[in-house]
């Protein structure tokens, strides 16, 4: 387990900035409970600083995971967020989309968010911005990328896609064999 390089940190923070913007500082600069990002194999973990210090005493081959997995680096060097980062992203989300109850199951089965399923949206969501998807009872269900801005989405057909799904909590069941390996 090692700290991220400058380039890796830049890639991770750019991806997180799509969803939480400048609120990244709340993740890193928490004075009462400091956290750090660490890389184990190709996965990035968000760990309390005290736990990260303890983890240095464990050999890399024996250490499977520690902390919360935020995502992984692909072979091409891009960073892909995992659904395990959702509680932290939902806490500091910039743009939000709430879906009606009839749209929750299609979303959790891996489909995109349709206009007919949208209950409400944050104002001023730009096109291709990261959004956190909530149920109408404010339970975070996943995250995605907006296909249209808020103003354009209001005039779409009911079957048009409002947000492209990037991750949802249904992945815990659908990908349980590969999610943590």
* pLDDT of res. 131: 95
CATH number attached to the domain at 2-88:
3.10.450.220
Taking the model in full, what pTM does it have?
0.88
pLDDT class of 180 with cuts at 50, 70, 90: low
Residue 177 has pLDDT above 80, yes or no: no
CATH number attached to the domain at 94-174:
2.30.130.10
pLDDT in tens, 23-32: 888 888 888 8
Residue 119 has pLDDT above 90, yes or no: yes
- The share of the chain scoring above pLDDT 90, in percent, equals 67
CA nearest neighbour of 44 among 17, 13, 22, 21: 13
Distances (CA, A) of 71 to 21, 68, 105: 17, 9, 24
Instruction: Say which residues have a Cβ less than 8 Å from residue 124's Cβ, sequence separation at least 6.
Output: 149, 150
Reduced DSSP (H G I as helix, E B as strand, rest coil) percent helix, strand, coil of the chain, to 5: 35, 30, 35
User: Domain boundaries in the chain?
Assistant: 2-88, 94-174
* pLDDT of res. 7: 95
* pLDDT of res. 179: 67
pLDDT in tens, 68-101: 999 999 999 899 999 999 999 999 999 999 999 9
């Amino acid at each position: 387990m090692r700290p991220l390089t400058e380039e890796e940190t830049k890639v991770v923070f750019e991806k997180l900035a799509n969803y939480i913007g400048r609120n990244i500082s709340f993740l890193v600069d928490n004075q009462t409970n400091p956290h750090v990002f660490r890389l184990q194999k190709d996965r990035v973990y968000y760990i309390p600083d005290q736990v990260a210090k303890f983890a240095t005493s464990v050999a890399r081959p024996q250490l499977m995971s520690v902390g919360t997995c935020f995502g992984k680096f692909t072979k091409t060097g891009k960073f892909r967020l995992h659904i395990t980062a959702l509680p932290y992203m939902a806490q500091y989300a910039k743009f939000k989309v709430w879906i009606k109850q009839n749209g929750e199951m299609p979303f959790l089965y891996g489909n995109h968010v349709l206009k007919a399923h949208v209950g409400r949206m944050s104002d001023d969501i730009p096109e291709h911005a990261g959004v956190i998807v909530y149920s109408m009872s404010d339970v975070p269900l996943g995250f995605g990328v907006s296909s249209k801005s808020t103003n354009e989405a209001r005039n779409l057909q009911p079957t048009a896609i409002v947000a492209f799904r990037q991750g949802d909590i249904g992945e815990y069941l659908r990908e349980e064999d590969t999610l943590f390996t």
